[in-house]
């Protein structure tokens, strides 16, 4: 008798509207029918998923996580810290699920579970951030504090509106940061109100923010840096550029790179995949090309993603 394949299913019971609890049987049933022996583990606290994966994932053939972008970030970080790549399935259950959208993973949890056990492996880029990792976005400045300052209950009730409302409440006190940005042979010195290093077609639930022709396995990030507006005209330029998704202003720097170093005189708060990433005066961000195997729906061809 052949030995059954083993699957570690990690889920965050509080992600989104805690809907995973209502569909837990159907999700696990899909896994069992795919001939897996399933170990179910609900995370107990922040960082729990990372520790569980780093410590125990080697005993399993497949790891599947269910939760929001923060849960995915924890599990991927655990895989990266192990130093051994391993297939990873993802069942999105958060309030935005940007990365799942970019990968074409269904929002329906049972269908996402089917993709996790029956799909195809996609070798996806991952970001290193000093001694940490992120899956799809590292950011600082305007609006980035919203996702981890907004309570889970508030997110559940208002969805995307929570992000926008919380951000608007503090618009009158937008902080700016004097920084030096280094990539390739280029050095930029400017004052910025926002910066984003991303590997996703969607950020904050808004598609197209990261530019066109976004590929998740090409070894480069999309970088967006917004300069501090000095007057209402410059502010309107920035808003028009972001709303229309057209890069036609000198107020916004946009470029692609596999590595970027950002220096600031004062500590700057960063977010990694929507979770607090600490305060730093120096960050070194590198693209780890095709570092993680993520299970995606089997479409019969290569996964090509265009961020239009």
Q: What is the pLDDT of residue 285?
A: 98
CATH architecture of the domain 133-289 equals Sandwich (2.60)
In whole angstroms, what is the distance from residue 222 CA to residue 213 CA? Answer: 10
Q: Judge whether 132 and 169 are in contact, CB under 8 Å.
A: no
- The first and second tokens of residue 260, run together, are 């970027």
Q: What is the pLDDT of residue 17?
A: 67
- Which stretch of 17-31, 68-82, 222-236, 287-301 has the lowest confidence by average pLDDT? 222-236
Tokens 């990690």, located at residue:
10
Q: What is the pLDDT of residue 193?
A: 87
pLDDT digits (tens, 9 = 90+) for 72-126: 999 999 999 998 778 999 999 866 677 888 889 999 999 999 999 999 999 999 9
> Looking at the domain that runs over 5-124+290-296, which CATH code has it been given?
3.40.50.10330
- The first and second tokens of residue 216, run together, are 């998740």
pLDDT band at 202; cut points 50, 70, 90 = low
Every domain of the chain and the residues it spans: 5-124+290-296, 133-289
Average pLDDT over residues 208-223: 78
pLDDT digits (tens, 9 = 90+) for 256-308: 999 999 999 999 999 898 788 999 999 999 999 999 999 999 875 444 444 33
Q: What is the pLDDT of residue 247?
A: 65
Please, which residues have CB within 8 angstroms of residue 153's CB and are 6 or more apart in sequence? none
């Amino acid at each position: 008798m052949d030995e059954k394949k083993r699957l570690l299913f990690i889920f965050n019971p509080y992600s989104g509207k805690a809907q995973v609890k209502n569909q837990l049987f159907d999700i696990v049933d899909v896994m069992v029918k795919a001939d897996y022996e399933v170990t179910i583990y609900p995370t107990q606290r922040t960082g729990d998923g990372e520790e569980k994966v780093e410590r125990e994932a080697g005993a399993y053939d497949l790891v599947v996580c269910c939760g929001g972008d923060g849960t995915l970030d924890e599990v991927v970080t655990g895989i990266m810290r192990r130093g051994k790549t391993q297939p990873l399935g993802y069942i999105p259950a958060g309030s935005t699920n940007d990365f799942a959208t970019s990968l074409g993973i269904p929002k329906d949890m049972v269908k996402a579970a089917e993709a996790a056990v029956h799909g195809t492996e996609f070798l996806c880029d991952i970001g290193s951030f000093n001694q940490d990792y992120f899956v799809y976005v590292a950011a600082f400045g305007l609006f980035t504090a919203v996702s981890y300052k907004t309570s889970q209950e508030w997110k559940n009730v208002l969805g995307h509106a929570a992000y926008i409302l919380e951000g608007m409440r503090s618009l009158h006190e937008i902080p700016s940061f004097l920084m030096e940005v280094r990539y390739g042979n280029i050095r930029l010195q400017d004052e910025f109100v926002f910066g984003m290093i991303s590997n996703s077609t969607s950020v904050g639930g808004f598609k197209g923010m990261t530019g066109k022709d976004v590929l998740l396995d090409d070894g480069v990030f999309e970088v967006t840096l917004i300069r501090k507006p000095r007057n209402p005209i410059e502010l309107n330029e920035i808003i028009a550029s972001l709303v229309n998704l057209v890069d036609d202003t000198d107020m916004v720097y946009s470029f692609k790179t596999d590595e970027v170093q950002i220096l600031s005189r004062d500590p700057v708060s960063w977010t990694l995949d929507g979770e607090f990433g600490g305060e730093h005066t120096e960050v070194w961000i590198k693209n780890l090309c095709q570092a993680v195997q993520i299970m995606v729906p089997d479409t019969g061809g290569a996964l090509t993603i265009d961020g239009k």
